[in-house]
Chains A and B, each alone.
Chain A
């Protein structure tokens, strides 16, 4: 579904992501972890085509098509979606954006009903008349951002730290929704800083660890307990230099 080959990403004359190769098949969930500043968010934004990041080298293949040079909205229309880590505050009401997204991505009446239920379940109803992300709590931002992504019905979902700064009950709820997406066939690349969400996910196919812009580990999740206990350096036997 999503193939990234030898991707190098830069911004403002600096290379941030180096030689990343990764394949995400249908309905797979991959975790992407790594220390602060490793380039995880940059990788996700570059896959989505956002500025100021430019692809210096390598290609992004989505559903068999080279999307490396497409605009973000062209990628989104093809089924690629990003739940932003820090979405900006918008001058429009949250409910209005949801309505426009639902129109854009086409939903049946049943599916609209499910979305309305989900809004209630996530405790977001009171935010619909508020400007998007203005005066939202950290948890509300994460929940709302995942909600917009679900309304997009993506084939590939890029989730940038959906579990940061939120309480355990919310993490459990978001993990359930992410697992549901995967079960329905969406492929997910999930950036997590703490890894707390992992124990609530129904399955994880692969773990990637990134440091200094490179993937230094791509494999099973069995190393995760060791990483959480000892840190990347010791658990993976890495050197802390570039």
Chain B
């Protein structure tokens, strides 16, 4: 495994490389141990974990999903795929298992996202545990969503995982990921490399339900080939200490498309620095970075969007924040870069509160003040839903209902 040693050497040299955004996290104070036990099925998980997983939309009975990957702290509790999909050649397993089993898996390991991107990618290679590996063969359309759940339940844990998702030519996949934690002080680093091949389609819906003492640093890059379609729909719904993420889609083939939507509820003293970037590297590519952020209490949110156009392409950024308290802070930073006159890049950004006029208007239509506030919050967040596949819309709807409830406190 010389190649792996080389990666680790590279990682070691980047352990002090701070990312450009987000507060620094001291990696030395966390536990990176391994060891644990597997559960035969999800319903035998300890009750508090089970309850939280359900809130984030995990189907613990596994009735509506085609497969489940569940990781608790460092351990893979379950990696199970429905027989039909197995037979069709779909894989769902731990990344370590895939690297051992398939030599070709290494062609997707730290290829979209370099291991030396920052200290978080580096430490994940050096001390991380598992992560899911999903492969969909050419022309296979996985008709039921696959679900993955990354859960932290022990204090001081650093859960650093590395996920790889490959949808081969003409394949289709809907992937749901729920990340959650019991109220512990911990760190979650989630690296995800997405490979959307020619004419493939990947819808990735991720729900984060953390606890107020957690630091979260997801890192994700999607490579989208000719005619490929990548949808990233991210919901962040509960308090967190700090979160910094900037998923990026690179549209490398003609006609590729990417839509990155972030729906954020920031509460208590949370610090959120959430962005989304799209690089338009081929002709006739299209993409949007959309974010809606509800900011309450003393939370601080930075909304970033960056479009880089070097081809005939069309991109749009739409960042909006709704501040529900006097002490809430919001910042919207849309960036457009074009190295050609052929890219048509636009942006809109707005930060504001719910005005008295809006509330009174809704009250004149029959909504009480509380109803009017949740209606505005719920309506404000209702964006990008239409792009989700119909079988996921109901799921996202329920989560958004929950958020509007949390938003009111």
A-side interface residues toward B, CB under 8 Å?
48-51, 71-73, 76-77, 81-82, 84, 87-88, 90-93, 96-97, 100-101, 104-105, 129, 148, 152
A91, B361: Cβ atoms under 8 Å? no
Asked, given contacts A88-B355, A91-B352, A91-B354, whether A73 binds B380 with beta carbons under 8 Å apart, the answer is: no
10 closest residue pairs by CB, A with B: A92-B379, A76-B366, A88-B357, A72-B363, A96-B379, A73-B363, A72-B364, A91-B380, A73-B368, A73-B366
**Residue interface mask B369-398, A partner, CB < 8 A = 1:** 101100110111011001000000000000
B379, A93: Cβ atoms under 8 Å? yes
Distance in angstroms from B252 CB to nearest chain A CB is 30
Contacts of A72 in B (CB 8 A): 360, 363-364
User: Does B367 interact with chain A (Cβ within 8 Å)?
Assistant: yes
- A56 and B369 CA atoms in complex are apart in Å by 24
A76, B375: Cβ atoms under 8 Å? no
Asked, given contacts A96-B382, A97-B379, A100-B375, whether A90 binds B358 with beta carbons under 8 Å apart, the answer is: yes
B367, A91: Cβ atoms under 8 Å? no
B379, A148: Cβ atoms under 8 Å? no
Listed A/B pairs (29) with beta-carbon separation below 8 Å: A49-B364, A50-B360, A51-B356, A71-B368, A72-B363, A72-B364, A73-B366, A73-B368, A73-B369, A73-B371, A76-B364, A76-B366, A81-B365, A84-B364, A90-B362, A91-B322, A91-B376, A92-B375, A92-B378, A92-B379, A92-B380, A92-B382, A96-B382, A97-B375, A100-B379, A101-B365, A101-B366, A104-B367, A148-B365
Contacts of B322 in A (CB 8 A): 91
- A190 and B209 CA atoms in complex are apart in Å by 51
CB closest chain-B residue, reference A86:
B357
Contacts of B382 in A (CB 8 A): 92-93, 96
A91, B358: Cβ atoms under 8 Å? yes
- A81 and B360 CA atoms in complex are apart in Å by 13
Distance in angstroms from B303 CB to nearest chain A CB is 15
Distance in angstroms from A225 CB to nearest chain B CB is 34
- A154 and B299 CA atoms in complex are apart in Å by 41
